Structure 1
Amino acid sequence: MDACLIDVSLREELPAAARGDRLAYGRIIALCQNAVTGIALAITRDVHASEDIAQEAFLKGWRQLPTLKNPDSFLPWLREITRNLARDHLRARRRQPMTGEAADLAILLAADTAPTPAERLLHTEQEAAALDVIAALPEDSREVLLLYYREGQRTPQVAQLLGLTDATVRKRLSRARQYVREELMARFGEFARGTAPSAAFASAVLGMLAVAAPPAAGAAVISGSGAVAGKGLLKLFGLSAGFAAAGTLLGIGAVWFGIRTQLRDPLDGRERRALLAYGVFNTTLILAFIAGIGWLSGVPGWLPHALLTAAYVAGICWASSRWLPRILARRRQRDLLQDPEGTRERMRRQCRWQTWGLRAGVALASLGLLAGLVMSGRLSL
């Protein structure tokens, strides 16, 4: 996107987003996600942590968006939120000693002198080169350099997203090139582009907004999504089909977004096959639920619909809370050995989001079922 269009797009989308329009905020996320993840990565030097922090920054921005009076203040405000969260993350890592399960695991693995597959797959050459570049540069140059490659090497966009002049961006790029050898810079560019958040990142954040929606905007979010997505499917099964259809693409995108990092760099073929099976299972489950809702539209009574919804919710909960942790167990063992504090912090954050996500999913599925049963006349309150 042209740099001058970034401001125009933000001014167009922010008023609607402040009123609770999730789709408008999703377009804002797509505009800013490279900048926010890049700022977090420049500070933390950790791709996984940078994406977690970026999600938290966008969610915090969503909750506080109605308080923002001037649209032109949005980008500086969001950048400051991101930097504060990233620095809090670093401080939390420094304060946390390795205790409990992490310490026990480290002792256990240290006692085993045979190299494991996880130990042989530490960092790729590209990642190691990128970490060398990041370590060699001051923080402001890291931000500029990461965003320069993620934004297609266009300095006007970088300047706009970071609140700088084009001349300042060019000066910092020139300074970065003085610090870093040419061959390292090329590998860093590949790393920056390869770790940039995909379109699924915005979908995943949008999926969390049902939990984090501002009180004033919550009604608009729910009614808006139901009205838009439900038009073509209300005939099938009332409002529940509308809720289901609205969440189909979002749910599938969130499934694959949740495992995109591990799929990009699997420990081995075994983990990759298991992750693909997990993604296909959840995608199939979501599509089967939508098809089942449509098929049951001609079945009288409320029990079949309740049983289908219960089976769907149980399947999603089992896959997320039981199957996926087993798939990732070996990876977590490796990460705990290499970076116990950071890994424990990521695991806690992921556990919190998983818990809230499952609660929100169960609540929305139950509300959609109840609304559909009432509107179709199958159930009287």
Structure 2
Amino acid sequence: MNADTLHSLIGHELPLASRGDSAAYSRIVGACQNSVTAIALAMVRDVHASEDIAQEAFLSAWQNIRKLHNPASFLPWLRQITRNLARDHLRGRGRQPREVEDADLAIELAADPGPNAMERLLEAERTQVAAELISALPDESREVLLLYYREGQSSQQVAALLGLSDAAVRKRLSRARGAVREELLERFAVFARASAPSVGFTTMVASALGVLAPPSIATAAVAGSAAGSGLAGKLGLGASSASGGVAGGGLMAMLERLHAPLAGNGEALAHGAQLGLQLGGVVGGIVGGVVGTYATGRVLLRHARDAQERRRVYRLLLVMTALAALVCFGLLAVLAITTGWLAPLTFALLSIGAMTWQLLRWIPREIDPMIERTRRETGYDLRRTRTYRWMLSTEAIVWSSVFLLATIVWVLHHEGRFG
């Protein structure tokens, strides 16, 4: 894959991946796995450790991909993640000297000279040879040479993958050729090609993506459910409805981890399960809102005198619950199809503003006549009770709007949409 094709692939697939498309991210992994493993291998000089580090780098990038808004920044960002993880590995390995590892292996081989121990010994020897080959090269040339032989000896492709100029790559190649013997360079070329990750590497990373889903899936479910429950909860117990939303989203985030094995059983099945889990979180929020709405309905129905007034209360509850569900799914859709903060925050502000205005104008017009009649006939004024203040007062409506907006802003911040 040449440099232009690589940048085109990342530019096309990264927005899809940032919205939770694991198949799109897997295609990015396949295109970048040579460079990421080469960077790690040049630092740690251990093939298996380099692949473990590369997998961790790809998964870390997947979990934080919402924080990246510019596709052109992806490769530098991924390279930095890989180098940081490799440094952490070297620091950890520094606490356990190589001599100790070799001594442990020798003891194991003496105690059990079976095939497994022998295979480990051979593998340790191959690892030692690889480390010696890499160590023989100049520090600045290791990444370049590994990629040069893995990428069909194209200096331009190496330059694109490592963020260097073609001239810089050629200079490092020249210095490496002048610093080591030709015979050693030929051995290194064979080693570089043989140690390149296979298709199985991409498959292993792809199988882990469902377990380590990007925050957008779980937090979008929480945001959508909070929207539905919070707006519905303006007619009910705000605390219970909001907790229903968060509980629904949290439950779906847990179930999402359990559905990870589906990732290997067909892309369509995995995407279908993932969508079902997201919608389940929203439903959890709406159910929480409905519970609060039902509690408020019970209070209002006590003041309804006839069938007509009862129908008015039922209509009010039905309309508000339907509107809450509409806003809930609308917010989830905006989160799913956009990046950045402007679109979801604008949608949330418009929705909250419209709903709050309607609640402050429509609710009094519908229920005040019933409450006032009860006050005149019995002396009982619902508007002076704690129940009314917590459920239907202007203060309750305003504060529930503030709580809802704060929840959505938190979600946007958690996803890194503010940059």
Q: What is the deviation of 1:34?
A: 0.2
1:53 corresponding residue in structure 2 = 53
**Superposed, which structure 2 residues align to 1:212-227 within 5 Å?**
212-217=212-217
Q: What is the deviation of 1:194?
A: 1.0
Contact 1:150–1:192 (Cα < 8 Å) also in 2: yes
Does residue 9 in structure 1 map to residue 9 in structure 2?
yes
| Aligned CA distance change for structure 1 residues 15 and 179 (closer, same or farther; 3 Å) | same
1:201 corresponding residue in structure 2 = 201
In the superposition, the TM-score normalised over structure 2's length comes to 0.49
Q: What is the deviation of 1:187?
A: 1.6
Q: What is the deviation of 1:102?
A: 9.8
CA deviation string 1:93-134 (max 9, x = no partner) = 112479x99987755656899997458735677x66643331
What is the one-letter code of the residue matched to 2:122? L
What is the one-letter code of the residue matched to 2:157? Q
CA deviation string 1:349-368 (max 9, x = no partner) = xxxxxxxxxxxxxxx9xx99
What is the one-letter code of the residue matched to 1:157? Q
Q: How far apart, CA to CA, are the structure 2 residues paired with 1:114 and 1:23?
A: 42
1:42 corresponding residue in structure 2 = 42
Contact 2:207–2:260 (Cα < 8 Å) also in 1: no
What is the one-letter code of the residue matched to 2:91? R
CA deviation string 1:244-286 (max 9, x = no partner) = 8752368xxxxxxxxxxxxxxxxxxxxxxxxxxxxxxxxxxxx
In the superposition, the TM-score normalised over structure 1's length comes to 0.54
1:76 corresponding residue in structure 2 = 76
Does residue 181 in structure 1 map to residue 173 in structure 2?
no
Q: How far apart, CA to CA, are the structure 1 residues paired with 2:113 and 2:15?
A: 59
Q: What is the deviation of 1:167?
A: 0.6
Q: What is the deviation of 1:203?
A: 1.4
**Superposed, which structure 2 residues align to 1:330-349 within 5 Å?**
none
| Aligned CA distance change for structure 1 residues 130 and 183 (closer, same or farther; 3 Å) | farther
When Rg is computed on C-alpha atoms for both structures, the one with the higher figure is: 2
2:158 corresponding residue in structure 1 = 158
Contact 2:43–2:86 (Cα < 8 Å) also in 1: yes
What is the one-letter code of the residue matched to 1:182? E
| Aligned CA distance change for structure 1 residues 5 and 91 (closer, same or farther; 3 Å) | same
1:247 corresponding residue in structure 2 = 264
| Aligned CA distance change for structure 1 residues 177 and 19 (closer, same or farther; 3 Å) | same
| Aligned CA distance change for structure 1 residues 105 and 156 (closer, same or farther; 3 Å) | closer
What is the one-letter code of the residue matched to 1:140? E
**Superposed, which structure 2 residues align to 1:343-358 within 5 Å?**
none
| Aligned CA distance change for structure 1 residues 204 and 220 (closer, same or farther; 3 Å) | farther
CA deviation string 1:163-186 (max 9, x = no partner) = 000011111011111122112111
Structure 2's unaligned 5+ residue stretches are 222-258, 281-419
CA deviation string 1:20-60 (max 9, x = no partner) = 11011011101110000000000000000000000000000
Q: How far apart, CA to CA, are the structure 2 residues paired with 1:13 and 1:148?
A: 25
| Aligned CA distance change for structure 1 residues 197 and 104 (closer, same or farther; 3 Å) | closer
2:141 corresponding residue in structure 1 = 141
Partner of 2:143, secondary structure, is helix
Q: What is the deviation of 1:137?
A: 2.0
What is the one-letter code of the residue matched to 2:265? T
Q: How many residues of Structure 1 are paired with residues of Structure 2 in the alignment?
A: 235
| Aligned CA distance change for structure 1 residues 7 and 220 (closer, same or farther; 3 Å) | farther
Contact 1:130–1:184 (Cα < 8 Å) also in 2: no
Contact 1:133–1:180 (Cα < 8 Å) also in 2: no
CA deviation string 1:70-96 (max 9, x = no partner) = 111110110000001001001001124
**Superposed, which structure 2 residues align to 1:297-312 within 5 Å?**
none
Partner of 1:212, secondary structure, is coil
Q: How far apart, CA to CA, are the structure 1 residues paired with 2:142 and 2:101?
A: 35
CA deviation string 1:297-332 (max 9, x = no partner) = xxxxxxxxxxxxxxxxxxxxxxxxxxxxxxxxxxxx
| Aligned CA distance change for structure 1 residues 123 and 181 (closer, same or farther; 3 Å) | farther
Q: Which moved more, 1:44-53 or 1:101-110?
A: 101-110
Q: How far apart, CA to CA, are the structure 2 residues paired with 1:167 and 1:173?
A: 10
Identity percentage of aligned residues? 58
Q: How far apart, CA to CA, are the structure 1 residues paired with 2:64 and 2:74?
A: 11
Of structures 1 and 2, the one with the larger relative CO (CA 8 A, separation 6+) is 1
Partner of 1:247, secondary structure, is helix
Q: How far apart, CA to CA, are the structure 1 residues paired with 2:102 and 2:124?
A: 21
| Aligned CA distance change for structure 1 residues 49 and 26 (closer, same or farther; 3 Å) | same
What is the one-letter code of the residue matched to 1:159? A
